[in-house]
Structure 1
Amino acid sequence: MKLVTAFAGLIAAAEGAALTNLQNNLQSAVQTVLKHSESQSRKPNILFVITDDQDLELDSINYTPLISKHIRDEGTFFRNHFVTTALCCPSRVSLWTGRQAHNTNVTDVHPPYGGYPKFVERGFNDDFLPVWLQNAGYDTYYTGKMFNAHTVENYHSPHINGFNGSDFLLDPYTYSYLNSTYQRNRDEPVSHEGEHTIDVITRKALSFLDDALDGERPFFLAVSPVAPHSNVDPGAIASGQIYMSAPIPLQRHEHLFEDVRVPRNKNFNPDQPSGVSWVRDLPKQNQSVIDYNDHFYRSRLRALQGVDELVDSLITKLEDSDQLENTYVIYTSDNGFHIGQHRLPPGKTCGFEEDIRVPLFIRGPGVPKGHVQDAVTTHVDLAPTFFHLAGIPAREDFDGTAIPITPDFDGERHEHVTVEFWGSAVVEGIFSGIGPGGSTMIPNNTYKSVRLLGEGYNLYYSVWCNNEHELYDLSIDPYQLNNLYPTTPSANEDEPQILGRSLTQAINRLDALLMVLKSCQGVTCIQPWDVLQPVDGVKSLQDALVQEFDGFYAAQPQVSFDWCDKGYIVEAEGPQVPLTSRYGVSWDVWV
């Protein structure tokens, strides 16, 4: 009897345990279903990674296998993505506001023409992307580099708005890989001397991602590591001597890629000079300079390995949280970089492809996997794109338009990129003293330019502040070595043509287009041909090259500068308003 009673007790206990397990499993399944349902019904999350000075044209993306695995291969590569100013702070402000630098008037990395103080002075601290996203129901987080001249002295004057949580790199320690200073929320700055900045930002980014995942609202998390930017010693900045050396990788990566060299493309240290202004006068580099450039290049690739691991950690945490499928992951850089092309020392600030083309990878709901998108996209398109993803109506003051992320995208596209720069070029590395008196600063690097990619043409046209011009046909000259802009009038039948028209006719159209773009605002930046020919059905360079419009374009005022200046001074920039065709008639009368 006791034995029967014991067996009955065991059976009852087993049934009770089974019932408890069943209840637990059912509860877990319900929670999973509810969590999945909630993630599908709420707005998507956005993880935005922006590196500093990362090249596209020099193959850096082929040395980050984890980024390729998680974002490029699982999403879309936008291979015709451009910045509109090849310098970090102006480019970042354009990115955060969706406006060209001539409309933000933040055109440099430090006052009086740029940097964080200029950003605040212009009123953007209360009116930029994170503020807009918060107002639309997002929790927002940021860690890493935000702006230049955001310092240990002015970080609270005022604090940067728009983030639920933030941990910013601060000058003069921003670019010091082993001596960084971060400033969290409203706290005092904290020095991380002796730690590698990539290790520091990885911890901070993962912590913010935990906070974001624990929240009840969709999130926007931006992570901005300083790699692969050059290393800058804070002591050198304090002394007024800004010297930029090769980036410093994490110790575990410092021996990688020992045999890798800068790609030896045709524009690498060419035998004949190329470009205009100060670029044209650069001497051919000797072997010592070439060897150093290769070292600098390897150091950049090594520094990016920490970013590769950072991205892997973020994606892994998203996977573990079951939020990855409801998250758009966007990866890009603030500007490109050159090393040895056109005989240039390491640096950016030029209008060449190396400086203005940057990586852009996007994965997320509805984004095709392993796809390559040819559409022309720019950094001023990113804020409109974030609005599109979040279901927010576009602002009228956006100078860009949403990027075609999904196959069913029916938004308007453009064939042009407005590239503009003011002030000095900055050269980097131990052989950088090529400016006046051996300076690392090159004056008179101001220019306005337009980059066009359309059916049957691939062009770059620029006007410098000394009124030199460049015209490259990249369909036949992809490395921009042959400036087609004529220095003297020519009736040579062998002269190159563009879409079957003479250089003169093509230049007349390009110059008129640049006249619109150099001071455009809002929709005129997106649809510039509508400014020139609003009733003629002209939507592209190909449309504008019709012969009946020759007289109209020949009569246009020319883009020019009255003098070179360090910032956007309208009075220095010559004519501002083009002629406009309003009646749809033949314009031969303008001749």
Structure 2
Amino acid sequence: MGFTKTLLIGLSAGLSLNLGFGFARADQLPLVDKTRPNVVFVLTDDQDLHLDSLQYMPFVRKHLIEKGTSFNKHYCTTALCCPSRVTLWTGRVPHNTNVTDVSPPYGGYPKFVNQSLNDNYFPVWLQQAGYNNYYTGKLFNAHTVLNYNDPYPRGYTGSDFLLDPFTYEFLNSTFQRNQEAPRSYEGEYSTDVMAEKAYGFLDDAVRDLENSPFFLTVAPIGPHANVHTTVYSETNKTSVFTEPIPAKRHEHLFKDVKVPRTKNFNPDQPSGANWLLDLPQQNQSNIDYNDHFYRQRLRSLQAVDELVDGLFTRLEEYGILENTYFVYSSDNGYHIGQHRLQPGKACGYEEDINVPLIIRGPGIAENQETNIVTSHTDLAPTFLELLGIPLRDDFDGRPIPLTAEGLKRPENSRREHVNVEFWGGAIGEGIYEPQVHPNHTYKAVRLSSPEYSLYYSVWCNNEHELYDMTVDPGQLHNLLAADGSPLEGEALIAGRSVSSVVSRLDALLFVLKSCKGDTCREPWKQLHPAGNVETLADALRTGYDEFYAEQTGVNFEYCAAGYIIDAEGPMWETDSLMTRDGAPWYEWV
């Protein structure tokens, strides 16, 4: 029997949507245990930080930015939906979850299940700690109308998940509630459907506050591209990526808005490495379409903005806002035209990996910004610490400091690095480049401190990139030749030559490419076990030049579509450290 939406799940066009139950006044609520806080987490899909999308969300600004703390240096470790979300819910980087793609065999919900992660991730830990846990929206890619119950995702008191192949169809979504069969909402706007579901779960959570606090996640698809799948089975699909679709009430907005014309927008000269160097400059028709694509993203976010306002309105009516943390983020960032790229993600550049993170709640500083470096590996540890749940030994991240006192620490004393990784291909979205660029696998490290701002990467074809983002924030001027050797005539970085800096970054990235736990959090300690080096600035001391000249760097054997050890090249081993007369190097330097 051929697959059709009607045959599998039926149509519900024209059915009224009334999932909320109305919310009670604070004086009508049951006795609330305020010793344990609640959390509302809104997780958008592909939302940028560098293309100004937050500036067009007045309710996010009113309720979150002006009443909470914005983390300007928050990063995903893989700029792709499913690997990023698995990292977020496990506190582990993709090479440790081995979920590295959006679909099998290297990723997606089936890979998540096969890695035994359905029994060992944040929702399960949350329930074990006595929290009611509710979720509506997108969970993972390849979570479908065919496998939604094979098995059901664990850890939820109430769930209503978007399902593939209809996840990204703004006007043709399919949701699957609790243990029920999937249901179609054809003709209804996806974010509005989800908002009602979120409000209903909030009602449920409040009714049981006397017994359990709650964690509510709302994961809309905006501002992701609209994706229409024309052929679908478990092993084959044909999908078309076009611009997002806004709600009817928002179609008229932002008529003259364009993609920010930064220096790296459609530059006169190609930039980057690998296949990016072959990208042609976009013509005016292409630019006009990308501006339209950008406006559609902003329009699609207006329903998300209204959803945020609706959640805050209800929290205030319930009288529980003062005991609730509200967190706003996105799985990964997005580019449109930067480096001549068509709309999309998957690159290691700042537009794709630096994502929104805003937190409001008890003890959180209001209307504050911080440049403390954080990543998605830190969110699960942060949530556990906020809720008084013991941290886990296998976390690759650590709790984010949230209080005003914690934020006063020097911004490089906590951590200055984020390891970034990717496997497989990169897809261009929209009408001008519906193709996959293969051999897009790379390892990278992003460092940010008051003294320097750097991005260093090694691609699977072993081409290298280094950008001094203090003077080149758009990452247009690669300081390295393809083989990793410094180009002539480049300026100093942090007072040292480019070659001296690269030798340190190469050793750091070599440790990070296979790190686990403490090694991910404190990679310099692997290179300097005495603990006297905690930052790149420490490592740049001239006394360490000989040591770093001898260290192994990242080198791929071949380009692979997933995390295949044979392709990864040499791996870090502590016994590879240089010795002299039997003594470890750090005792004689």
Do both proteins adopt the same fold according to a TM-score greater than 0.5, normalized to the shorter chain? yes
Partner of 1:418: 419
Q: Which structure has the greater CA radius of gyration? A: 1
193 and 492 in structure 1: CA distance in 2 versus 1, 3 angstrom threshold: closer
Q: Find the aligned partners of 2:173 and 2:454 in 1 and give their Cα distance.
A: 41
- Equivalent residue, structure 2, for 1:524: 519
- The match for 1:454 among 449, 457, 460 is 449
What is aligned with 1:167?
A: 160
Matched with 2:50 is 57
For 2:514 and 2:473, the matched residues in 1 are separated by 28
**Corresponding residue of 2:95:** 102
More displaced stretch, 114-123 vs 567-576: 567-576
Cα shift at 1:300: 0.2
Q: Deviations over 1:273-301 (max 9, x none)?
A: 00001111100000000000000000000
Alignment pair present for 1:484 and 2:479: yes
TM-superposed CA distance for 1:488, in Å, is 7.5
Give distance in 2, aligned partners of 1:488 and 1:240. Answer: 38
Q: Which amino acid aligns with 2:416?
A: E
Please state whether the residue corresponding to 2:344 is helix, strand or coil.
coil
Q: Are positions 1:292 and 2:289 aligned together?
A: yes
Query: Which position in structure 2 is the counterpart of 1:351?
Result: 348
One-letter code of the match for 2:350?
E
For residues 543 and 322 of structure 1, do their structure 2 counterparts lie closer, same or farther at Cα, with a shift above 3 Å needed? same
1:244 aligns with 2:237: no
Among 539, 545, 569, the residue aligned to 2:564: 569
State whether structure 2 residue 255 is matched by structure 1 residue 258.
Answer: yes
Q: One-letter code of the match for 2:218? A: V
Q: Is the 8 A contact 1:561 1:572 kept in 2?
A: yes
Distance 2:89 2:279 in 1: 35
Q: For each residue in 1:424-446, what CA deviation from the matched residue of structure 2 results, as whole angstroms up to 9, or x when unmatched? A: 1011000014xxxxxx1110000
Aligned residue for 1:501?
496
Query: Which residue in the other structure is 1:584 paired with?
Result: 586
| Match for residue 234 of structure 1 among 229, 251, 264 | 229
Could you give the per-residue CA deviations for residues 205-235 of structure 1, whole angstroms, max 9, x where no partner exists? 0000101111121100000000100001132
The correspondence of residues 82-481 of structure 1 with structure 2, limited to 5 A, is 82-215=75-208, 216-235=211-230, 240-409=237-406, 413-433=414-434, 440-481=435-476
Instruction: Classify 1:323/1:344 alpha carbon distance in 2 versus 1 (closer, same or farther; 3 Å).
Output: same
Q: Distance in 2 between matches of 1:376 and 1:491?
A: 27
Q: Which residue of 2 aligns with 1:9?
A: none
Flag the 1:471–1:237 CA change in 2: closer, same or farther, 3 A. farther
* Shift in alpha-carbon separation, 1:350–1:32, aligned structure 2, 3 A: same
Partner secondary structure for residue 67 of structure 1: helix
Matched, 1:533 2:528: yes
Question: Letter of the aligned partner of 2:241 in structure 1?
Answer: M
- Offset at 1:585? 3.6
Q: Is the 8 A contact 1:444 1:564 kept in 2?
A: yes
How far is 1:44 from its partner?
0.5
- The secondary structure found in structure 1 opposite 2:96 is helix
- Evaluate the alpha carbon distance shift between residue 474 and residue 139 of structure 1 in structure 2; reply closer, same or farther with a 3 A threshold: same
Given residue 181 of structure 2, which amino acid in structure 1 is its aligned partner? E
How far the C-alpha of 1:34 sits from its partner, in A, is 9.2
Letter in 2 for 1:65: P
Residue 241 of structure 1 deviates from its aligned partner by 2.6
CA RMSD of aligned residues (A): 1.9
- Asked whether the 8 Å contact 1:94–1:379 carries over to 2, the reply is yes
Tell me the distance in 2 between the aligned counterparts of 1:523 and 1:81.
Answer: 20
Partner of 1:542: 537
AA aligned opposite 1:388: E
Taking structure 1 as the reference length, the TM-score comes to: 0.90
Question: After alignment, is 228-237 or 253-262 more displaced?
Answer: 228-237
- Cα distance in 1, alignment partners of residues 320 and 359 from structure 2: 16
Compute the displacement of 1:33 (Å). Answer: 12
User: Residue 535 of structure 1: SS of its match in structure 2?
Assistant: coil
For 1:541 and 1:558, how far apart are their aligned partners in 2? Answer: 16
Matched-pair contact (CA < 8 Å) for 2:229–2:238: no
CA separation of 1:33/1:92 partners in 2, compared to 1, >3 Å: closer, same or farther? Answer: closer
Question: Can you list the C-alpha shifts for 1:58-105, whole angstroms capped at 9, x where unaligned?
Answer: 000000010111111110000110000000000000000000000000
CA 1:554 to 1:151, structure 2 compared with 1: closer, same or farther past 3 Å? same
- The answer to whether the 8 Å contact 1:564/1:572 transfers is yes
Q: By how many angstroms is 1:583 displaced?
A: 5.0
Q: Distance in 1 between matches of 2:123 and 2:377?
A: 15
Give per-residue Cα distances to partners, 1:307-338, cap 9 Å, x unaligned.
00001001100000010000000000000000
Deviation string, structure 1 residues 162-202 (Cα, Å, up to 9, x no partner): 00000000000000011000000000000001111011101
User: Which amino acid in 1 is paired with 2:275?
Assistant: W
Point out the structure with the larger helix share.
1
Q: For 2:290 and 2:552, how far apart are their aligned partners in 1?
A: 43
Gaps of 5+ in 1: 1-27, 434-439
The total of aligned residue pairs comes to 550
Percent identity, aligned pairs only, is 58
Between the aligned partners of 1:503 and 1:236, the Cα distance in structure 2 is 50
Counterpart residue identity of residue 250, structure 1: A
Q: Deviations over 1:343-378 (max 9, x none)?
A: 000000000100001110000000000000110010
Q: CA deviation at 1:577?
A: 1.5
- Asked whether the 8 Å contact 1:179–1:193 carries over to 2, the reply is yes
Alignment partner of 1:539: what SS? coil
Secondary structure of the structure 1 residue equivalent to 2:133: strand
Whole-Å Cα distance in 2 between the matches of residues 493 and 289 of structure 1?
36
Residue aligning to 1:23 = none
User: Are the equivalent residues in 2 in contact too, given 1:401–1:413 (CA < 8 A)?
Assistant: no
CA shift, 1:580, in A, is: 3.2
Other-structure match for 2:15: none
Tell me if the contact between 1:536 and 1:584 (Cα under 8 Å) persists in the aligned partners: no
